[in-house]
Structure 1
Amino acid sequence: MSKKIDVVVIGGGYAGVMAANRLTQRDDVAVTVINPRSAFVPRLRLHQLVGGTHDAVVDYTEVLAEGVRLVVDSVTRIDAAGRSVTLAEGGTVGYDYLVYAVGSGSAGSRVPGVDEFAYPIATLEAAQRLRSVLYDTPTTAAVTVVGGGPTGIETAAELAEQGRAVTLVCGGVVGPYLHPRARRTARKYLAKLGITVLEGPDAAVTAVTRDAVELGDGRTLASRVTIWATGFGVPDLAVTSGLSTDATGRLRTDETLTSVDDERIVAAGDSAAPSDLPFRMSAYAAGCLGAHAADTVLNRIAGERPAPIDLSFPAMCISFGRGAGIFQLGHKDDTAMPLYFSGLAGKKLKEFSCAASVEHLVNEARKPGSHHWPKDGKHRPQLLREQRGGAPVAAEPAV
């Protein structure tokens, strides 16, 4: 019996699970997923976990293809030369190909007091901790949510719907992706929920203390619980393993998602930086990039030339508690259209999107190779031409 081709996937999020499922198209490929948790975390639900309306976990037996091996552990180092990864609990796992899908977590902050007194929400453990803290905090206590993106907005809305006194603070504009018309609707929903919104440069947070938040214009807000939702950062595994990364630590790849250092390593999801032009961090992008990463690996196994990534962004959605939502339609270049759905229609479309993000994984597990995504063919090449000063775009680096 011939030896199977071993593919190790680091990370069991949207990108890692999609890649692992898609790789099962070949009977001669053995797929191992290494993930620190024993359950899949649909991160689109973490704000609901904080608000107590969803547990934000799904059993891997529901989303991972039969035959994929799951190792519950963390990878501490990648040995590209030896084609193996070192596990936190001891031992190593060898590979023929590696899919780097470590995802993202809370971004670091230089604002004094954030690490000591603010609560992040980017991971399951962080959201569970925050939920526990809020459970022990009176409903009348002041809560401050820092961050005007989807995570900040959705978390503020979930808590305000419970009757909590919530202030949403943002140093820029709330809902920066939204079309101005949709942004006005978002502010109306936040006001209806009783949320105080402070936005603009004067509202930039300069310090966090145990019971307060200090702003750029000198104001001090009383805050019993301060929630930090200002963005995402990536793990430093690639950096500490000596692989090439961008300034934020994403693994640098070509347009096929292949590492610029090693064609046996392919990246997907939030931790990938193709051509130093990473896609917006999102569950949608992660699933599509996971599928493309798997295709790249399968192409290489078959001795075929991998294709460059092609991905467009049709929409972005935000929930405002359980009663309303905004489903913002977008151009293929990931900019907002004037058209959006709001209210009950927006809520239903948002819920559909959350459910679909998991259903795509389930479908790929049952029928590997079936996942398809919207493509553009124009926007990405144009960005690359601008980045390279008009030089021709190559699918892969010269070897």
Structure 2
Amino acid sequence: MRVAVLGAGYAGLVLAQRLERRLPPAVDIVVVDESPTHLVQHEVHRVIRRPSVTDALTLPLRDALDRAELVTERVERVDADAGFAELADGTELDYDFGAICLGSETNFHDLPGVEAHALPLKRVHHAEAIRTQFLDVCESGGTAVVGGAGLSGVQTAGELAALARERNASDRVDVVLLEQFDSVTPAFPENFQQAVHDELAARDVEIRTNTPVQRAEADSIELAEGTLPYDLFVWTGGIRGADAMGGERPLVRNDLRLSERTFVVGDAARAVDADGESVPASASAAIREAGTVARNLERLVTRELDGDGTDFAPRLKPYRFEVPGWIVSVGDGAVAQVGPTVVTGAAAKAMKTTVGAGYLSSVKAVEKATELVEAELNE
């Protein structure tokens, strides 16, 4: 029997590790990812200001897995009903049960010129490109624009403003954060939104809400109220599904299945939990979803191996979205929400450091966790 995990981001890596512990040795586990390394993506904005942190944020997948077969290749197409994946090298991978954990890509929403002229922030090389271009802006002066004020956009704007200060360029560099809705971090509670707004403003980030981008040229962005010239344009304005999923994020049932044999986990899906609530795309949700899917796959595999001859499928566990809170970096600061309480300052920054290091420790990367803590404390 073969169980395939397609993608090794947060959802895929955590799921694969749990399957290694839960499934019997007779079951082959295959993990497919286009990269040989796992990226702690929610911290990739750090690379804009601290390139040296890259090593702490990248974990060789082979070091993180015990017995799973690792295939380093891009997934081109998935047939969830047939239990089939086609890889970029032409390999056809059949599986008895599988999980699509391919994450998401930047959504440019077909806005004219935006994909052609804006830099996304999904990979280390994106952060490096943003840094290189922004250092030129710091030298000559100009405007850096970040489109989209979700968590990623807030963190990017905060890093750019902090880097400008470090380069003694704050007086000649403007960092502008655009958001089409009426607040930053619009998907979060009002007290969190206000705290994030205040942290950004304190770091001289210009915030423009109710300001959707209409189109982009090589050196300017067209807004409803006029044209905004820029020297650097970063786009964090949403996500779409992976190319292997036709760019779609399919809606999955609350047990996270797309078909009888295939689950979709993390950002790759739009999930509705056991309480009927939409699950936000986030690292914390992906990690917790992986735990639910690991238990459900164990039940399905056990039934197949036992071969009890009945037609009754095992009852699968529904996923319930429960996280203790949210946290976002804003340059050298941070904002955290724990229950109804919002925390800022040193306490929030310590929480942010703990979250990243705790995740790395949980996936058997204790040395990387230590590196990350040291990098954060030395800022």
TM-score, scaled to structure 2: 0.82
Q: Which moved more, 1:173-182 or 1:42-51?
A: 173-182
CA contact (8 A) 2:45 2:159 kept: yes
2:98·2:263 contact (CA, 8 Å) conserved in 1? yes
- AA aligned to 2:336 is F
Could you tell me whether the CA contact under 8 Å between 1:212 and 1:222 is conserved in 2? yes
Q: Distance in 2 between matches of 1:296 and 1:154?
A: 35
**Distance in 2 (alpha carbons) for counterparts of 1:288 and 1:113:** 37
Matched, 1:167 2:210: no
The offset of 1:355, in angstroms, is 2.0
Asked whether 1:71 is paired with 2:71, we answer: yes
The question of 1:349 aligning with 2:351 is answered yes
Shift in alpha-carbon separation, 1:264–1:183, aligned structure 2, 3 A: closer
**Match status 1:326 vs 2:364:** no
Q: Is the 8 A contact 2:279 2:321 kept in 1?
A: no
2:37 corresponds to 1:39 = yes
1:17 aligns with 2:27: no
Amino acid at match of 2:96: D
**Corresponding residue for residue 307 of structure 2:** none
TM-score, normalised with respect to structure 1 = 0.79
Q: Equivalents in 2 of 1:47, 1:363: separation in Å?
A: 20
The alpha carbon displacement at 1:22 in A equals 0.8
- Alpha-carbon distance change, 109 to 80 in structure 1, aligned in 2, over 3 angstroms: closer
CA contact (8 A) 2:59 2:365 kept: no
C-alpha spacing 1:329/1:38, structure 2 compared with 1 (3 Å):
same
Query: Which one-letter code corresponds to 2:143 in the other structure?
Result: A
Letter in 1 for 2:12: G
Aligned-partner residue type, residue 166 of structure 1: V
Structure 1 position 80, deviation (Å): 4.8
Structure 1 residue runs of 5 or longer lacking an equivalent are: 240-247, 331-336, 365-399
Equivalent residue letter for 1:107: N
User: Matches of 1:300 and 1:46 in 2, distance apart?
Assistant: 36
Equivalent pairs counted in the alignment come to: 338
The reply to whether residue 184 of structure 1 matches residue 194 of structure 2 is yes
Structure 1 residues 84 and 110, CA gap change in structure 2 (3 angstroms): closer
Following superposition, the deviation at residue 252 of structure 1 comes to: 3.6
Query: Which stretch of structure 1 is more off in the superposition, 169-178 or 18-27?
Result: 169-178
Deviation at 1:177, TM superposition (A): 3.9
Contact 2:195–2:342 (8 Å) recurs in 1: no
Give RMSD over aligned pairs: 2.3
How much does 1:230 deviate?
1.0
| Matches of 1:117 and 1:81, distance apart in 2 | 38
SS of 2:66's equivalent? coil
Per-residue deviation, 1:135: 4.4
Q: What corresponds to 2:2 in structure 1? A: 6
Q: Which moved more, 1:38-47 or 1:22-31?
A: 22-31
1:242 equivalent in structure 2: none
The 2-side partners of 1:361 and 1:347 are apart by: 22
- Report the Cα distance in structure 1 between the residues aligned to 2:103 and 2:351, rounded to whole angstroms: 25
Corresponding residue number in structure 2 for 1:368: none
- CA deviations 1:94-113 (Å, max 9, x no partner) are 22211111111101323222
Tell whether the 8 Å contact from 2:81 to 2:260 is kept in structure 1 after alignment. no
CA distance in 1, matches of 2:207, 2:81: 52
1:115, distance to aligned residue in structure 2 (A): 1.4
Equivalent residue number for residue 213 of structure 2: 205
2:81–2:261 CA contact under 8 A, matched in 1? no
Measured after TM superposition, the shift of residue 278 of structure 1 is 4.6
Once the two structures are overlaid, the 10-residue window that deviates more, 173-182 or 21-30, is 173-182
Residue 146 of structure 1 is matched in structure 2 by 147
Using the alignment, how far apart are the partners of 2:283 and 2:154 within structure 1? Answer: 17
Task: In structure 2, give the amino acid aligned to 1:101.
Answer: C
Per the alignment, residue 216 of structure 1 pairs with 224
Does the 8 Å contact 2:106/2:240 carry over to 1? Answer: yes
Q: CA deviation at 1:66?
A: 0.9
Question: Any idea what the Cα deviations from partners look like across 1:287-330, whole Å, max 9, x if unmatched?
Answer: 111121121111111124221112212201111113x1111124
Q: Cα–Cα, structure 1 residues 32 and 208, in superposed 2: closer, same or farther, change >3 Å? A: same
* Structure 2 unpaired stretches of 5+: 165-172, 304-313, 367-379
CA change 1:358–1:113 in 2 (3 A) is same
**Structure 1 residues 207, 273: closer, same or farther in 2, change over 3 A?**
closer
Report which of the two has the higher share of helix: 2
| Residue number in structure 1 paired with 2:369 | none
CA distance in 1, matches of 2:121, 2:285: 20
Could you say which residue in structure 1 is the equivalent of 2:58? 57
CA deviation after TM superposition for structure 1 residue 44, in Å: 0.6
Deviations 1:99-139 (A, max 9, x none): 11111110132322201111111334433433343344444
Q: Give the superposition deviation at 1:153.
A: 0.8
* 8 A Cα contact 1:252 1:272, kept in partner: yes
Taking the TM superposition and a 5 Å limit, the aligned residue runs for 1:1-399 are 5-24=1-20, 25-26=22-23, 27-52=25-50, 54-55=53-54, 56-62=57-63, 64-80=64-80, 83-139=83-139, 140-163=141-164, 164-172=173-181, 173-200=183-210, 203-218=211-226, 220-239=227-246, 249-259=248-258, 262-274=259-271, 278-303=278-303, 304-322=314-332, 324-330=333-339, 337=340, 339-362=341-364
Runs of 4+ in structure 1 off by over 6 angstroms are none
Say if 1:225 and 1:30 are closer, same or farther in 2 by CA, change over 3 A: same
In the aligned structure 2, how far is the partner of 1:290 from the partner of 1:251?
17
CA shift at 1:184, angstroms?
3.0
